[in-house]
Amino acid sequence: MSRDLLAQTLEGKVAIVTGSSRGLGADMAMDMARRGAKVVVTYISPSSEEKAAKLVSDIKALPNNASAIHVRADLGDITSPAHIVKSTTSAFGPDIHILVNNAALQVTKSLSEIATEDYERLYNVNIRGAIFMTQAVLPHLRPQSRIINISSVGGRAGFASLSLYTSSKAALEGFTRSWAAELGGDGTTVNAVAPGPVQSEMLNTIPTEIVEMQKANTPVGKRVGESIEVARVVSWLASNEASWVSGQVINVSGGWTMY
């Protein structure tokens, strides 16, 4: 993970990135910090605390005005959004400028195997968590704030045994468009980023045949993506440069979604 500084396009901004102790979330948090943001890193389990603390330490060591805190919070728990916001405002003041709804679960099960518990566990994090996390930041959002939902190319594709995950991403894209219509009056934008397969721990939970099919049909390099390639797009959407982009789903997939 690079610590080189970039143009300080997010200097003075406070950003919450849910599910950001590792993988794509960690690269998004670090990329924003390299651009000057103060970042809230959230994680769910005690096993992730060391990684979250290391990320915060690395951010604080950057030679700019970035800073960070880490907050343990399970977005499947309805009380967690308020806890995250309280921790954020206690550390960085009352204003929040950027929310990245990244926390998500993935369940690989065929339709006949899906249990009520699977549905509730996944949707409580992927959808309910995003809804009430966004609701919790509303009183603190400054004009021209940025809400960025992390979707997936699976939200508009059919993959066997991934229906819970892909349907949750389709729902998140629907919320993206509706929230953009609702919140844009003061210049706030709401967008989604839909990565293709990215090198990460979650990738290991996707059936190999699906990943290989996507690689074979990806025009750019016939490969999976790197998380930093997605993080750069998220940071751009979070900046003032993307002020006229809202209600959009941006595919970051090496061209896979052309097909």
Catalytic residues: 151-152, 165, 169
Please give the Cα distance from 155 to 164 (Å, whole number).
Answer: 10
Residues facing 17 on adjacent strands: 41, 100
- Rounded Cα distance between 129 and 140, Å, is 18
Q: What is d(CA 130, CA 149) in angstroms, rounded to the nearest whole number? A: 8
Contact predicate 232/31, CB 8 Å: yes
Are 55 and 26 in contact by the 8 Å Cβ rule? The answer is yes
Residues 6+ apart with CB under 8 A from 140: 85, 88, 89, 94, 95, 96
225 bridge partner residues: 198
Measured distance CA(152)–CA(249) in Å, rounded: 9
